[in-house]
């Protein structure tokens, strides 16, 4: 872990494919919950996609609608693409599914950078072997976005609860 004086102690990136559905939802929910827990200055959260198709665009309107309905603010998001230099600026890169994991791991330049890549739902207490991805809701109906929100909220709660220990774990 690297930390600048007065900066956040842990820098987390959440990554999906397009950075308009799953990872922006995770970003907004995690930031909201960290803020509620008084940890907004301790943990910094960013999000990105492995693809570049939507760079600069706001969140998918279906993702934004579900967030708004549940009391979150989706308005500030603009899509970005993850690149190897994200390893310079982040302690943990949490991916939504296996394909995202492989794509981000392939960007790592050293074994230490590869160690920073983990699956987002590895923190989900309800995840199990064979059920540890956040499914892509892009091609489905609105129900898929509610499913993503529930997974993201549950996992974000676990990350917030683990946050003090996480900073120590990552610094080792």
Do the Cβ atoms of 22 and 106 come closer than 8 Å? no
Nearer to ligand 4NP, 41 or 53 (CB): 53
Clarify whether 16 is annotated catalytic: yes
Please report how close the Cβ of residue 22 comes to ligand 4NP at its closest, in angstroms: 3
Among 8, 18, 74, 144, binds ligand 4NP (CB under 6 A): 18
CA distance 145 to 53: 20
Interface with ligand 4NP includes 163 (CB under 6 A)? no
Q: Which two tokens stand for residue 62?
A: 């279906």
Asked if 136 is an active-site residue, the reply is yes
- The reply to whether 17 sits near ligand 4NP by the rule CB under 6 A is yes
Alpha helix positions (H), the chain:
22-36, 61-69, 86-89, 98-105, 111-115, 142-171
Q: Are 77 and 28 in contact (CB under 8 A)?
A: yes
Q: Does residue 19 bind ligand 4NP (CB under 6 A)?
A: yes
Q: How many residues bind ligand 4NP (CB under 6 A)?
A: 11
Could you tell me which stretch among 15-23, 82-90, 116-124, 153-161 binds ligand 4NP (CB under 6 A)? 15-23
Count CA within 13 A, CB hemisphere, residue 66: 25
Q: Which of 12, 13, 14, 21 binds ligand 4NP (CB under 6 A)?
A: 21
């Amino acid at each position: 872990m690297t930390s600048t004086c007065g900066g956040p102690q842990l820098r987390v990136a959440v990554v999906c494919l397009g950075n308009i559905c799953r990872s922006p939802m995770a970003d907004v929910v995690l930031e909201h919950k960290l803020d509620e827990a008084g940890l907004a200055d301790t943990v910094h959260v960013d999000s990105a996609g492995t693809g570049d198709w939507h760079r600069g665009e706001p969140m998918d309107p279906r993702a934004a609608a579900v967030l708004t309905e549940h009391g979150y603010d989706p308005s500030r998001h603009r899509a970005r693409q993850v690149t190897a230099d994200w390893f310079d600026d982040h302690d943990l890169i949490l991916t939504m599914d296996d394909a995202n994991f492989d794509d981000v791991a392939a960007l790592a330049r050293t074994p230490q950078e590869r160690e920073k890549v983990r699956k987002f739902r590895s923190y989900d207490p309800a995840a199990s072997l064979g059920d540890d991805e956040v499914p892509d809701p892009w091609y489905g109906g609105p129900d898929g976005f509610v499913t993503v929100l529930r997974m993201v909220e549950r996992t974000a709660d676990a990350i917030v609860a683990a946050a003090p220990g996480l900073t120590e774990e990552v610094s080792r």
